[in-house]
Structure 1
Amino acid sequence: MTDLSPHARARLCKNLVLGITGAVAASWMPPRLQTLRALVADEVNVVMTRGALRFLTPLAVSAISGQPALTDEDMWNDKRVPHITLSRSADLVLVMPASARILASCARAACDDFLSTLICATPDSTPVVFVPSMNETMWRNRLVTSNVALLRDAGYHVIDPIEGIEVATGHEVYGGMIDMPTLYHTLAAILSQRREESFQDS
C-alpha cells in the first residue's frame, strides 16, 4: 500500500459522481468520501440507492461531500433532470461499494433507479468504474460473473475485490473493496488513458 498525501498531489479531475449502493461496506464510506474529495475531484456529487440508506444517511454524506446527497426521490424533483445533468458534467462516475444488484441493473440497462439510469445516460467518453463489495460466494456466482463480463465488454471498469474481513463471520475472505491508495492509482491510470484517447481522436 502506498501512502496518500493530499499536499503532494493534484486532484485527478473536476467533477466526480459517486454512487453508493446497499452493501454493508457503505457504512465505511465517510472516510473514503473524505479522501475522494481531498485527492480525486474538486466536486463530488453523491447518488445513494435505497439499499445504501440502510447503512448511511444522506445528511452525513452531504456534510462530508459539501453537496446535497441525491436519492431516488430526487430523480424527478428537478426541472433540469438531474440524472442527465450530472452524467453530462461528470469527468468520472465511481460506484463504491457496488452491490450485485447494481451490477445486474447496469449490465442489463434496466434503469430501475436513479443511479442505474444515470450510468446508462453517461456518455461513452466518461469512465464508469465499479468497486464491488460482497460475500465471496456471491461474487463468484455465475450470474454475477456474467454481469461483470457484460459490463467489461461494454467498456465499463470493474475492479476485482480483495481479501477482507467478512462482517457476518469475522473471517478473512475474498470480496472486500480495494484500499484507497490502490484505488487512487487505478483511477489516475484510467483517467490518463481516457485523456490520451481523447487527444488521439481530436
Structure 2
Amino acid sequence: MKTILLGISGSISAYKAADITNELTKMGYKLDVVMTKNSTEFITPLAIQSLSHRRVHLDVMDEPDAALINHIALAKNADLFLVAPASANMVGKLANGIADDLLSTVALALLPDTPKIIAPAMNTYMYQNPIVQRNLKTLKDVGYQEIVPREALLACGDYGRGALANVSDIVHVVNSKLKE
C-alpha cells in the first residue's frame, strides 16, 4: 500500500481536502495528513482523521513515538508528497526553504526522489503576483509538479485563475504519478 503525505495549508479551499482525502483513501492509499494551524480554521483535523482513518499531524513539536522524530519519519515514509490546497504563504515557504511549521519542515526532509505535487489555491491577483509566480517556478525547478488552479468565481468575489483544481483532477494526477 502506497503512502501519500498530504499537506493542507490555510486556504478557503481547505474544505476540499476532505474530498481529496476520502477519494484517495477509497482508492486504497494510506494517507499521512499534515495540517497547518491556519488550515484548521477552515476544516477540522477530526473531519480529515475520520476520512483517512489515521491520526492527523499538526505540530512539529508533537512527537507521538519517542523512538522516532516525527517529521523525519513522515518524510521517509512518503511515496508521494501532495500539498492541496497550497496557499501563497506555503508556496513561498516551500520555495525558500522556510521550515517554521510541521508541513514546511516535513517538505525539507523529503527524500530527493519523492514525487512532489502542489495544487495552489488563492486569490487570482495573488496567483498572478510575480513573486508567487517566481516561487512556483523555483518549486518546478527543484522537481515539484504544479496542478494549475482553475479559473472561477473566487470566495472573495473576484473572477480569475486561483480556485483549487477539481478534486477529480488532483486525484487523477496523484494516481497517475504513483502508477508510473
Asked if TM exceeds 0.5, the reply is yes
> What are the equivalent positions in structure 2 for 1:1-202 lying under 5 Å apart?
14-39=2-27, 41-72=28-59, 74-76=61-63, 78-79=65-66, 80-169=68-157, 172-193=159-180
Q: Distance in 1 between matches of 2:60 and 2:107?
A: 17
Shift of 1:76: 4.2
In the alignment, structure 2 segments of 5+ residues that lack a partner are: none
- Matched residue SS, 1:164: strand
- Matched residue SS, 2:143: coil
Q: Deviations over 1:19-77 (max 9, x none)?
A: 010000012322222112112x5211110001101111111211111011110255445
Aligned-residue identity in percent: 32
Q: Distance in 1 between matches of 2:62 and 2:41?
A: 19
Larger radius of gyration: 1
Q: Distance in 2 between matches of 1:51 and 1:147?
A: 20
After TM superposition, which residue ranges in structure 1, 4 or more long, deviate above 3 angstroms?
73-78
TM-score with structure 2 setting the length: 0.92
Answer with 83-92 or 172-181: which moved more. Answer: 172-181
In the alignment, structure 1 segments of 5+ residues that lack a partner are: 1-12, 194-202
Distance 1:155-1:180 versus aligned 2 partners, 3 A rule: same
TM-score with structure 1 setting the length: 0.82
Q: Distance in 1 between matches of 2:2 and 2:64?
A: 25
Aligned length: 179
The one-letter amino acid paired with 2:170 is L
- Matched residue SS, 2:126: helix
Q: Distance in 1 between matches of 2:120 and 2:57?
A: 21
- Contact (CA 8 Å) 1:46, 1:69: kept in 2 or not? yes
The one-letter amino acid paired with 2:167 is M
